[in-house]
Amino acid sequence: MNDSPLQVLTLPTSPHPDQRPGTNGLRKKTHVFQSEKNYLHNFIQCIFSSIDLRDRQGSTMVVGGDGRYFSSTAIQAIVQMAAANGVGRIVIGQNGIMSTPAVSCVIRKIKAIGGIILTASHNPGGPDGDFSIKFNTASGGPAPEAVTNKIFQLSRTIEEFAICPELRVDLGTIGKQSFDLENKFKPFTVEIVDPVESYANSLRNIFDFAVLKELLSGDNHIQIRLDAMHGVTGLYVKKILCEELGSPANSAINCVPREDFGGDHPDPDLTYATDLVETMKSGQYDFGAAFDGDGDCNMILGKQGFFVNPSDSVAVIAANIFCVPYFQHAGVRGFARSMPTSAALDMVARATKIQLYETPTGWRYFGSLMDAGRLSLCGEESFGTGSDYIREKDGLWAVLAWLSILAVRRQSVEDIMADHWRTYGRNYYTRFDYEEVDLDAAVEMMLDLELMISDRAFIGQVFTVGEKKYQVEAADNFEYSDPVDGTISRNQGLRVVFKGGSRIIFRLSGSDSFGATVRLYIDSYEKDINKLFQDPQVALAELVSIALQLSQIHERTGRRGPTVIT
């Protein structure tokens, strides 16, 4: 306990016009938070001001992140301002590190009023990288749109912020630190915790660790390779899979979190997780996985580098859901996927007669369904999978779910996928990203596309590519009515659906100072058993051709091709 009360100050400030948080919080280049006057403090104050004062007083909040550059500085400011704004206790992962799913888990376990996560997910870190501040509510999930809108409105009129500038926290020592503040009756408490333990306890109640330990270190154990990409998940992989479940220490690589992720993109896909992909191609390992910076995303690979599309991954978990003991006890309430994700999950839902929800992109839509007791398992095409025990996607949970399936079925990843396709059909799937395109050109292209597909004559139109014909069955600008509260989300992406289940989707994903991103999604359903094992790019070529014909995207954007193909 410090001897003399610490001073609480109210300092003047001016608004910044660009502090509208998105799905992943307020994400900017790190130097923006560092160099623009009070940029960090303004947004933190708006988070606290968005919480009713009566709820805020004496409350508990959780702080974590992926340990990227500038995190320690930001955490000290968050703690100083939390104390000045009436928060009673802050729980922080040791050294400021706690994965996004672990933050969600801890918020729910200790009944905190919310949490602040410092991460830019799979984006690069370092002085020239990205930084983000994300607010999660008491449910453990990302703040809903009503809350983020309130934060943005506050940011446009902010005139002052409260701070206790002399308060300094030791982030490296586990335990409680107490501080007396002037004009406060109770001391302000900071609790530094092991970032893994509470989360690991939840996983022990979900999965059969004895079965998993036998799979990973028993007499007939499989060989696995896990790449944490120098993100936060390295701590969890080492403690849970290596130390507790017995996987050899050398089965986990890049497990030391670094401020700049070793200079790499912490993005678990075929483009950036190349070390893992090449290692898996050697045939030495039966199962491989990579994780992003903050631990909420994952990529699954089988022997010889066999790639499991994220849309297929959630469908396989759904089809084998009772291999996870948690669902044997809790039951299965529903499945959900984001609209651009392939319809592979739909096929499982239809066969099992389990309710399926199709939502806009953004994990908060899943959280609403979970809070209402309607959803058990969900996923999205951008390498995110999760269940209702928390309100965030969870890379390590997905890996343990896959390992549980392997333990029960005793088949390879590739054989499990092959069986799945034979049973449900296969959704060939890809995503093209056209990044940093001219915003005006992108908006004009999307408006013209919507006008075309809204014409009544468009329905029933037949597109012929080679010997194959595709007839339009439906087309719209996706609109979602939340079945829980009736909230309507409009303009979520243009869909062209063909007879037989194939789809083309266009989304204007957002814009920043570098331009807009147009995403093109191709989802081709195939149930002919003789066509289940084609090269995906070959299988998708016809629909890609139709998409390019419809949109004229190369001509309209001046691009010869996509920036990224997933």
Say which residues have a Cβ less than 8 Å from residue 68's Cβ, sequence separation at least 6.
Answer: 118, 119, 120, 125, 126, 129, 131, 259, 260, 261, 293
3-state helix/strand/coil string of 54-117: HHHCCCEEEEEECCCCCHHHHHHHHHHHHHHCCCCEEEEEHHHCECHHHHHHHHHHHCCCEEEE
- Where helices occur in 300-378 by DSSP H, the ranges are 310-319, 325-330, 344-352, 363-371
Contact call for residues 396 and 237 (beta carbons, < 8 A): yes
Rounded Cα distance, 323 and 251, in Å: 24
Cα-based angle 376, 381, 382 (whole degrees, multiple of 5): 105
The answer to whether the CB of 365 falls within 8 A of the CB of 482 is yes
**Using CA atoms, how far apart are residues 105 and 527, in angstroms rounded to an integer?**
39
What is the sign of the dihedral through the CA atoms of 46, 51, 52 and 54? negative
Positive or negative, the CA dihedral 528, 534, 536, 538 is negative
SS3 content of the chain, % helix, strand, coil (to 5): 40, 25, 35
Residue 300 bridge partners (DSSP): 289, 308
Q: How many CA atoms lie within 13 A of 89 on its CB side?
A: 13
Please give the Cα distance from 434 to 560 (Å, whole number).
10
Closest by Cα among 474, 465, 451, 413 to 225: 413
Residue 342 among the catalytic residues: no
Write the burial class of residue 331 (CB in 10 Å: 0-12 exposed, 13-18 middle, 19+ buried): exposed
CB 121 within 8 A of CB 297: yes
Q: Catalytic pick from 121, 155, 251, 368?
A: 121
What single-letter DSSP state applies at residue 38? T
Type of residue found at 210: A
Question: Between β-strands 160-163 and 9-12, what pairing exists: parallel, antiparallel or unpaired?
Answer: antiparallel
Residue 265 token pair: 């993109």
Among residues 262, 57, 17, 273, the alpha carbon closest in space to that of 158 is found at 17
Report how far Cα 40 is from the mean position of its chain's Cα atoms. 23
CA 445, CA 545: separation in Å to the nearest integer?
17
Residue with tokens 């058990």: 376
Angle formed by the axes of helices 310-319 and 395-409, nearest 10°: 50
Active site positions, annotated: 121
